[in-house]
């Protein structure tokens, strides 16, 4: 059976796996990336693209920011809208100049893949039947088929990075008694659309309404991304384009001279919402990162950013190991990451619970939510808390 040797085997060519491969390359550490999907799928899959300031800084600092600087939409605030009125959270004023950048995840994936291949790095797309072996020994390796017609090959490595998402094979490769899973499923979902219409706002609008949450976002100056809170069991077939726009108009309504622009809907779907954390994020020579270790509800726009934060820690730890043989930072990877993970989970839960209607909520609960929104938008301390978390906690705050 053919065997290839590398220092770090990376399973998954999403943001976590590709950023990790790039950071390791910059330190002279060899890695091989294995991905079950095709390159085309990875580069075309539409996902959220809100980048924290720290993520943007890291991409720029490591030579990945050319297209990001050219095409990214820099935002210096968001709007919270409730009771027919909008309230701006000013990031510049509240955080000392930090902001967010809208840059579609699939565009970032294109940048990462190009950088990887331009540097001569290896990515195996369309791999089949991946399995991990020797995680608790000195002889760890990954067995896989390069494609369905090929024989098995083995990738021998010092360490394995599990960056293959929530439904990947890395997390289940850890013995069940070792892992503790913290899981919360929310009693609602998001109906999301892509529409060929310029965004009706230069910044994101988070709307609380008695009929449910709504969000106005964007992918580019000509493409709008919008969301509606709905029931998890909703049938997308029951949501005509006309009905979607009618509901968005109601929930995003403003008493001011503003109206939501409508256009052709080119994509729509329903996504459930949950929060998941697994502890620990490492076992033997396997280190989990990104969605393989945690899921956050999309309200706080943290999934991609948390994945980047994970691999930043992991790359630094692996760099220390290979340069000096020190294992202390590597052994503390899970503890270091989980401090940040739980802070992000807290913020994402808070944003979600503040802005969504929960089934069975009473009039008291609704008034309480409105009071919380009134406090956050009317208090500098409250607004600062939201702004600090939204633009991203400092990387060193772990």
> What is the SS3 string spanning the chain?
CCEEECCEEEECCCHHHHHHHHHHHHCCCCEEEECCCCHHHHHHCCCCCEECHHHHHHHHHCCCCHHHHHHCEEECEEEEEECCEEEEEEHHHHHCCCCEEECCHHHHHHHHHHHHHHCCCEEECCCEEEEEECCCCCCCEEEEECCCCCCCEEEECCEEEECCCCCCCCHHHCCHHHCEEEEEEEEEEEEEEEECCCCCCCCCEEECCCCCCEEEEEEECCEEEEEEEECCCCCHHHCCHHHHHHHHHHHCCCCCCCCCCCCCEEEEEEEEEEEEEEECCEECCEEECHHHCEECCHHHCCHHHHHHHHHHHHHHHHHHHHHHCCCHHHHCHHHHHHHHHHHHHHHHHHHHHHHCCCCCCCHHHHHHHHHHHHHHHHCHHHHHHHHHHHHCCCCCCC
State the CB neighbour count (10 A cutoff) for residue 3.
10
Catalytic residue (one of 283, 298, 322, 356): 298
**Dist. CA 238–CA 20, nearest whole Å:** 42
Catalytic residue (one of 75, 110, 133, 343): 75
Catalytic residue (one of 208, 283, 322, 390): 390
Catalytic residue (one of 209, 294, 302, 356): 302
Active-site residue flag, 298: yes
Active-site residue flag, 206: yes
Are 31 and 159 in contact by the 8 Å Cβ rule? The answer is no
Active-site residue flag, 103: no
Active-site residue flag, 268: no
Catalytic residue (one of 103, 186, 206, 208): 206
Active-site residue flag, 76: no
Catalytic residues: 75, 206, 298, 302, 390
């Amino acid at each position: 059976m053919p065997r290839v040797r590398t220092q770090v085997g990376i399973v998954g060519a999403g943001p976590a796996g590709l950023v990790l491969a790039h950071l390791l390359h910059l330190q002279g550490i060899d890695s091989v990336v294995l991905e079950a999907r095709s390159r085309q799928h990875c580069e075309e899959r539409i996902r959220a693209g809100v980048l924290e300031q720290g993520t943007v800084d890291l991409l720029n600092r490591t030579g990945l920011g050319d297209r990001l600087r050219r095409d990214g939409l820099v935002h210096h605030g968001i709007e919270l809208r409730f009771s027919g009125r909008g309230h701006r959270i000013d990031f510049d004023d509240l955080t000392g100049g930090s902001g967010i950048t809208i840059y579609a995840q699939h565009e970032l994936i294109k940048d990462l893949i190009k950088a990887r291949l331009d540097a001569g790095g290896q990515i195996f797309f369309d791999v089949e039947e991946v399995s991990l072996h020797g995680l608790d020994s000195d002889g760890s390796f990954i067995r896989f088929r390069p494609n369905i017609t090929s024989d098995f090959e083995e990738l021998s490595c010092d360490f394995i990075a599990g960056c293959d998402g929530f439904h990947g094979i890395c997390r289940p490769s850890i013995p069940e008694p070792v892992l503790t899973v913290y899981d919360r499923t929310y009693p609602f979902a998001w109906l999301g659309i892509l529409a060929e219409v310029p965004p009706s706002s230069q910044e994101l609008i988070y709307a609380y309404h008695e009929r449910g949450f709504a969000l106005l976002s964007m992918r580019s100056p000509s493409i709008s991304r919008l969301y509606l809170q709905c029931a998890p069991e909703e049938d997308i077939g029951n949501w005509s384009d006309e009905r979607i726009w009618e509901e968005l108009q109601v929930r995003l309504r403003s008493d001011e001279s503003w109206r939501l622009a409508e256009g052709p809907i080119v994509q729509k779907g329903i996504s459930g919402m949950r929060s998941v954390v697994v502890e620990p994020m490492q076992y033997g020579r396997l280190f989990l990162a990104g969605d393989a270790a945690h899921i956050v509800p999309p309200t706080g726009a943290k999934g991609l950013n948390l994945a980047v934060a994970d691999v930043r820690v992991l790359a630094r730890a692996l760099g220390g190991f290979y340069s000096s043989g020190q294992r202390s930072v590597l052994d503390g990877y899970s503890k270091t990451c989980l401090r940040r993970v739980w802070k992000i989970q807290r913020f994402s839960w808070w944003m979600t619970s503040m802005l969504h209607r929960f089934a069975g909520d009473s009039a008291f609960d609704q008034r309480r939510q409105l009071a919380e929104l009134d406090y956050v938008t009317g208090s500098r301390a409250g607004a600062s808390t939201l702004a600090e978390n939204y633009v991203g906690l400092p990387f060193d705050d772990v």
